[in-house]
Amino acid sequence: MDSKLLTENGWKALAAKFKIKDNGLQKALAAYEKLEQEDHDALLKAIASVSQLATSLKKAKEIVAAPAAGKYLTDIVSATEAQKNDVTKAKAAAAKTAASAQKQAEAADKQKDETAQAGEASSDYSAALLAAFQKLKGAKDAVYEFVVCDAKTLGVMVAKKITAQHKTDLTNLTGSKRFLPIGTCSFQDGKFAFNLEKPIAGLARRLQESIKNYTGKKLPLVAGSETAEADEGQPPGAAAPAASPAAPPAAAGPFRISASVGQGGKNTPADVTAVQNALNAKAKAGLQVDGKCGPKTIAAISNFQKTLGMPKPDGRIDPGRGTARALASSGPLPPAPAPPQPVVPPKLGKPELAKAPAVWQNMRKIVDTNIEQVKKAVRGHYAHEHPNLLKEIDQNLQKLDGITDKLDQRVAESLAKANAAKDTAARNAELKNAKGILAGYISYVKSEPLIAHVDANPWVKIDLKKTLVDTITHMAQSIGS
C-alpha cells in the first residue's frame, strides 16, 4: 500500500490538479491521520468514513472526466480495506493482551484485598491494644484475658473476654493461625503480668517486642518468672496513652507494609510512616515522618524508583513488589543503569538495487539494537522484583529475538545476486525470488503480535512496525529501480 494514499496532502494535491469539488474526503483523511495507532475503534470508524466518501466521490462527473483521479479513489478504497484488516487484527491482539492484563490485575486485586484486611486490622489494632492496657492499669485488681498468635512477630490481644473475633483479627494481622492457650493478664507492682498455665521461656521479651512493634510503646511486663523492663525515662507501670488517629505508630523492626503507599495507594498512616522512615534511611529523603502521603512523599518514592533504574517511575509502593523489596533490602543499592537509548532509523533515500542489501542489513542492526533497549527498559523497571517473576520476564523477553530471526538475510542476499547478475534471465529470476521473500516478510509483520507488544511498551518508544514497513517498502521499490 502506498503510504500517501490515506493522507490529506495526497488527495488534496490531486483534487487541486483536476479541480475536483471535495465532498469531505480531505477532512476525513486529515482526521484519520491525527488518530493514535492504539485507538482502534476510532481508526475503524475513520477508515469507514474515508471509504464511504471515496466511493461516493467516484460517481461525480469531474471524476469520470479524470481517469487518474478515479484510479486514485479506487486505490484509496482498496487501501482502506487493507488498513481495516490490519487495525482489526491489532485490535484483537490488544484485546487479548488486555484480557491477560485484566486477569493479572484481578489476581493482584485479590492479593491486595487480602493484605488490605491485614492493613485495616493493623490500623485498629494499635489503638485497641493500648486502650486495653490503659483500662487494665486503671481498674483495681482487674484481670483480663489475653491470647498470643505465634508468628515471626507475635500478635497479642488483651480483653475482658477473648473471643473468636479476636483470633480472626490476629490472623489477619500476622497471617498466622497458630495460637498459644488463652492466659490471664493483670497490672501488678507497676508491671503488666501475663500468666499462662504452662509458662513459655522467652515470652516476656517477645511480647514486649511485639507490643513495641505495633504500638511504638515499650511497656514493663512480666511473663512467668521473666521480666522485661520499660524504656529508660518511662516510670515503671506508666500506662501508654490511647493512640491518636492523627499520630501514626512509630516504625520498628524490618521494613514492611500491609497495603499500597504512594500515588493512588491506600496510604494507611502506619504504612506511610514505614515508607517515610525507610526512604529517609535508605535514600536520605529528608521526609517529615507524619504518616501522611503528600506530594513530597510521592516525589521521594518516584526519585527512589529512578535510582533503581525504572524508566518511568509510578510513585507507588506495593507490598512484596520491586520498590518495597528494594527498600527492605540490606546494604547499599547497586548504581542505576543508564537509561535506554534507542537508535533513530536514518532516512532511506532513493531506492536503488545496488544499495538495497546494505539498507536491509542496517535496518536489522537498528532493530536488534532497539529491541535490546526495550529489554533493558523492562529489566530496569522490574529489576528488584522476586527472582521467580524476573525469570518469567526474562523468558518472555527472549522471544523478541525471534523478530529479526524471521526477518533474516535472504532478501539482502537475493538482491545482491540480482545486482551482480550477468544476464537478464538470472537477474529477473533473483528479483522474483526477492519479491517472494518480501511477501513473506510483509505477512509476518502484519500478523506478529510481538511487534505490537514492543511498540506498546510504556518505557521506550522505537516505532518497530513503522521501521519494518518502511524498510520492506523501500526494498520493494528497489526491485523496480
Of 93, 19, 122, the residue nearest 62 (C-alpha): 19
Residue 55 shares a structural domain with residue 94: yes
Per-residue pLDDT tens for 344-375? Answer: 999 988 999 999 999 999 999 999 999 999 99
Asked if the structure places residue 237 within a domain, the reply is: no
pLDDT in tens, 20-45: 888 888 888 888 888 877 788 888 99
Q: Which of 296, 328, 360 is the last residue of a domain?
A: 328
Q: What is the pLDDT of residue 363?
A: 93
Transcribe 339-384 into DSSP letters.
PP-PPPPPP--S--TTTHHHHHHHHHHHHHHHHHHHHHHHHHHTTT
> Is residue 439 over pLDDT 50?
yes
Q: What is the DSSP letter of 337?
A: P
Mean pLDDT lowest for which of 63-77, 102-116, 203-217? 102-116
Domain boundary among 166, 193, 228: 228
Shared-domain flag, residues 304 and 263:
yes
Asked if residue 469 has pLDDT above 90, the reply is yes
What pLDDT does 2 receive?
59
Say if residues 101 and 71 touch (Cβ distance below 8 Å). Answer: no
Q: Report pLDDT for 415.
A: 93
pLDDT in tens, 333-345: 778 778 889 999 9
**What would the pLDDT profile of 165-177 be if each residue is shown by its tens digit?**
989 888 888 888 9
User: How would residue 234 be classed by pLDDT, with cut points 50, 70 and 90?
Assistant: very low
Examine the fold and report which residue of 59, 82, 117 is the final residue of a domain before the chain moves on: 117
pLDDT score recorded for residue 105:
60
State residue 244's pLDDT score: 37
Helix (H, G, I), strand (E, B) or coil at 284: coil
Q: Domain holding 275: CATH number?
A: 1.10.101
297 or 310: which carries more pLDDT confidence? 297
- 55 located within any domain: yes
Say yes or no to pLDDT of 253 above 70: no
- Taking 80 as the threshold, does the pLDDT of residue 161 lie above it? yes
248 pLDDT more than 80: no
pLDDT at 116 over 80: no
Most distant CA pair in the chain: distance in Å?
Answer: 113
Q: If you average pLDDT over residues 80-107, what whole number do you get?
A: 78
Rounded Cα gap, residues 132 and 194, in angstroms: 14
| One domain, residues 84 and 179 | no
Give the pLDDT of residue 181: 93
Residue 10: its pLDDT value, please? Answer: 80
Give the Cβ contact number of residue 238 at 10 Å: 15
Pick the most confident of 8-17, 40-49, 251-260, 261-270: 261-270
Q: Do 450 and 380 fall within a single domain?
A: yes
Do 104 and 171 share a structural domain?
no
Asked whether residue 199 is assigned to any structural domain, the reply reads: yes
pLDDT confidence tier of residue 3, bands split at 50, 70 and 90: low
In the chain, the percentage of residues whose pLDDT exceeds 90 is 35
Looking at residue 337, its pLDDT comes to 75
Q: Does residue 322 lie within any of the structural domains? A: yes
> At residue 113, does pLDDT exceed 70?
no
Q: Confirm whether 246 is domain-assigned.
A: no
Cα-Cα end-to-end distance for the chain: 18
Checking if the pLDDT of 159 tops 70, the result is yes
Q: Are residues 217 and 279 in the same domain?
A: no
Instruction: Give the domain extent around 426.
Output: 351-481
The per-residue pLDDT for 245 is 40
- In contact, 262 and 298? CB cutoff 8 Å: yes
Is the confidence at residue 438, as pLDDT, over 90? yes
Pairwise CA distance, residues 393 & 322, whole Å: 13
User: pLDDT-derived band of residue 464, with 50, 70 and 90 as boundaries?
Assistant: very high
pLDDT computed for residue 475 by the predictor: 92
- What is the residue-wise DSSP string for 192-257? EEEE-SS--TTHHHHHHHHHHHHHS----EEETTEEEPPPTTSPTTPPPPPPPTTSPPPP-SS---
| The predicted structure's pLDDT at residue 235 | 38
- In this structure, the answer to whether residues 360 and 461 fall within a common structural domain is yes
In this predicted structure, the answer to whether residue 156 has a pLDDT above a threshold of 90 is yes
Report the chain's mean pLDDT, rounded to a whole number: 84
Same domain, 302 and 360: no
Same domain for 380 and 474, yes or no, is yes
Choice between 18 and 305, residue whose per-residue pLDDT is larger: 305
Count of structural domains within the chain: 4
Q: What is the pLDDT of residue 110?
A: 58
Pull the grid cell for residue 152: 515471626
Q: What is the pLDDT of residue 420?
A: 93
What is the C-alpha separation between 206 and 156, in angstroms, rounded?
10
pLDDT band for position 416 (cuts 50, 70, 90): very high
Q: Which positions ≥6 away from 436 have C-beta within 8 Å? A: none
Q: Is residue 235 one of the residues assigned to a domain?
A: no
Contact indicator for 363, 469 with CB cutoff of 8 Å: no
Q: Is residue 19 part of a domain?
A: yes
